Amino acid sequence: MLKELINKFYLDQRKDREQHHFYITDAGKCSRAIFFKFKKAPREEMEARVLRLFDHGDSIHRLIMKPLLSMREIHVVASEVDIPPQELIRGRADAIISDGKELYVLDIKSMNSMVFKNLNQPKEEHINQIQLYLHYLDPQKGILLYVNKDSQELKEFEMFYDPKRAHTLLKALSDLKTKIDSNVIPPRILEWPGNWQCQYCQFKEICSAAGEGNVSWENFKKKIEAQGEVKPSSTTSN
Ligand code: SF4
């Protein structure tokens, strides 16, 4: 009984909102998957179990912030810091902290033991995110703090702001916005379907049906609706 009720609680909270801007977590990710997200294209439903994992990630953030907020050596200048409002992208850094000499953007990531054990350097997608936080917020340095969800071990990596990388990421998002506005589905990522993003992608099925290159969204949408190959999870939009 409880299992079903708890699952229902999470599934009822699923949000399939219209997306009008990018999030910092989109930086460097598959353009096609982001395009499909903007268009509310048919996607695999997320399981309640996965939604609970996101919730667990939030509780790990709180667990890490607790000691930081009470120690003398580190001052938490601000937590949950939104980047300044602008049209292209939104994002919220976990915290800005100070060691008394310098300011740092802090981004906390949790992962399972298997991934944590093999983590000798920060993940590319996380570097992309922190570089954009550094681009929009004051500090010139960032810390990626990784938490092993199973053992609570920690690993941390410091990095400097890299303006070149930040501008490359923003240019890619701006180019993708042009495709979204002109209804052109971007090509698949080069390593399709072996890339880790494809393994976890909710749009695998329609991505496979669309083919590899640039594709007209209008034509493709008509095709999948006519064939009824993939049932939309909600109405598709322009
Ligand atoms: S399956 Fe891979 S290439 Fe296709 S949309 Fe998803 S992440 Fe992108």
Taking only the tens place, the pLDDT of each residue in 101-132 is 999 999 999 999 999 999 999 999 999 999 99
Contact indicator for 111, 152 with CB cutoff of 8 Å: no
Atom nearest to 193 CA in ligand 1: 2
Burial class (CB in 10 A: 0-12, 13-18, 19+), 221: buried
The closest of 41, 53, 44, 60 to 10, measured between CA atoms, is 53
DSSP string, 29-80: S-HHHHHHHHTT---PPPPHHHHHHHHHHHHHHHHHHHHHHH-SS-EEEEEE
Residue 147 inside a domain? The answer is yes
Going from the Cα of 36 to the center of ligand 1, the distance in angstroms, rounded, reads 10
At residue 177, the 3 state secondary structure works out as helix
Going from the Cα of 32 to the center of ligand 1, the distance in angstroms, rounded, reads 6
Q: Is the CB of 30 under 6 A from ligand 1?
A: yes
Q: Is the CB of 34 under 6 A from ligand 1?
A: no
High-pLDDT (> 90) share of the chain, %: 72
Q: How far is CA 195 from CA 50, 126, 147, 190, in A?
A: 20, 16, 24, 8
Q: Is the CB of 202 under 6 A from ligand 1?
A: no
Going from the Cα of 194 to the center of ligand 1, the distance in angstroms, rounded, reads 10
Residue 19 inside a domain? The answer is no
* Whether the predicted pLDDT of 13 surpasses 60: yes
In testing the pocket of ligand 1, which one of 179, 180, 185, 203 has its CB within 8 Å of the most ligand atoms? Answer: 203
Q: What is the pTM (predicted TM-score) of this model?
A: 0.88
Residue 25 inside a domain? The answer is no
Q: What is the CATH classification number for the domain harbouring 90?
A: 3.90.320.10
Q: Is the CB of 203 under 6 A from ligand 1?
A: yes
The closest of 30, 26, 25 to 189, measured between CA atoms, is 30
Residue 81 inside a domain? The answer is yes
User: Which positions ≥6 away from 121 have C-beta within 8 Å?
Assistant: 157
Going from the Cα of 202 to the center of ligand 1, the distance in angstroms, rounded, reads 8
Domain that holds residue 157: 50-164
What's the pLDDT band for 8 if we cut at 50, 70, 90? confident
Going from the Cα of 159 to the center of ligand 1, the distance in angstroms, rounded, reads 29
- pLDDT tens-digit map of 140-190: 999 999 999 999 999 999 999 999 999 999 999 999 999 999 999 999 999
Residue 199 inside a domain? The answer is no
Contact indicator for 113, 148 with CB cutoff of 8 Å: yes
> Which residues on neighbouring strands pair with residue 106, listed in sequence order?
95, 143
Cα of 73 vs its chain's centroid, Å: 31
Residue 139 inside a domain? The answer is yes
For residues 212-222, give the mean pLDDT. 95
Domain count for the chain, please give it: 1
Going from the Cα of 15 to the center of ligand 1, the distance in angstroms, rounded, reads 21
- pLDDT tens-digit map of 39-67: 999 888 877 887 788 788 788 888 999 99
Contact indicator for 41, 200 with CB cutoff of 8 Å: no
Residue 101 inside a domain? The answer is yes
Residue 203 inside a domain? The answer is no
> Which residues on neighbouring strands pair with residue 173, listed in sequence order?
none
